[in-house]
Structure 1
């Protein structure tokens, strides 16, 4: 399965586009990190690692995960 990796230098957000349901929870909780109009659309350096872990844990589809 295709995966994309976005690191803040401490942890890495892993995105699996085929699992994504586009619920928008990521954009609502951390709009400075997740911007569908930007490239790259995930910019984890704009949040703390704890903020990222908290948000990723709420992803309903499992498309987002954390790699320590």
Structure 2
């Protein structure tokens, strides 16, 4: 399945477009991060890891997920 990753220091936003049902909860919740008219449309650096985690947990389709980045 196609996957796109958008890092933000401590957290990486993962988007799977085939799962997206276009509910727009992401855009409504964090418009400074999610803007479908721009490329890249996800700018994870515009929110804190906690804000991203909270919003991603609301995604009804599971198209958005996240992983915490570990220091090497």
Aligned to 1:51: 51
TM-score of the superposition, structure 2-length normalised? 0.93
User: Which deviations, in whole Å up to 9, do the C-alpha atoms of 1:10-54 show, x marking residues without a partner?
Assistant: 100000000000000000000000000111000000000000000
TM-score of the superposition, structure 1-length normalised? 0.98
Where in structure 1 are there 5+ consecutive unaligned residues? none
Whose Rg is larger? Answer: 2
RMSD: 0.4
Where in structure 2 are there 5+ consecutive unaligned residues? none
4+ residue runs of structure 1 moved beyond 4 angstroms?
Answer: none
* Count of matched residue pairs: 68
